[in-house]
Amino acid sequence: MSGLRKIDETNNVLTWFEIPVSNTQRAKSFYEQILDIEMTTQQFPETNEELTFFPHDPNDNLALSGRLTGALCRRPDRKPVAEGVRIYINASPSVEAAVDRVAAAGGKVLMPATSMPFGVIAEIVDSEGNCIGLHADK
C-alpha cells in the first residue's frame, strides 16, 4: 500500500529526487564527506541505472514512503548540469560545517552559509558539476 496522498497543505509536493552523476564513487565520497553521512549504492538493471541512496531505513520503499528523499543517479541519459532546478539538501546540524568541507571533497562554494528567515542556506557545485543548495535551521 502506498504512503502517497494527493498533494495538499499537509504533505510534500515532491516525492523523490535524483542528482545526476558521471562518477558514482567520486560523487558518493563527496556527499559522504560534506554531510558526514554514509550512503549505499544499488544497481537497477530494469532502468539501466545505479542509485546511491542518502541514509534511510532499508525496510522502507523510499519512493512510496511519503518521505521526501532521493539518490545520486548514474545512467547514460542523465548528465550533471549547473543550470535548472535547484534542490536543497538537509545539512543539519550545520550548513557552515558542510560548506567548510566542500573544497576538500572536490566541490566549489557558490554562496557561503547565509542566514535567512527560514534558516541558513548555502549553494555549492558538487564533484560532478551540479549546483546544489544546503539548508539547516541554524
Quick one: average pLDDT of 22-31? 98
Is the predicted pLDDT of residue 17 greater than 70, yes or no?
A: yes
Bridge-based pairing state of the strands 108-116 and 69-74: unpaired
Is the predicted pLDDT of residue 117 greater than 70, yes or no?
A: yes
Domain range enclosing 116:
16-136
Q: Is residue 57 part of a domain?
A: yes
Quick one: average pLDDT of 119-135? 95
Q: How far is CA 84 from the centre of its chain?
A: 15
Is the predicted pLDDT of residue 26 greater than 50, yes or no?
A: yes
Cβ atoms 119, 136 nearer than 8 A: yes
Is the predicted pLDDT of residue 11 greater than 80, yes or no?
A: no
Block residue for cell numbers 564533484: 127
Q: Is residue 71 part of a domain?
A: yes
pTM strictly above 0.85? no
The domain that holds 47 is classified in CATH as: 3.10.180.10
Q: Is residue 10 part of a domain?
A: no
Mean pLDDT comparison of 5-9, 44-48, 55-59, 111-115, highest-scoring range? 111-115
Quick one: average pLDDT of 72-81? 93
Q: Is residue 69 part of a domain?
A: yes
Q: Is residue 38 part of a domain?
A: yes
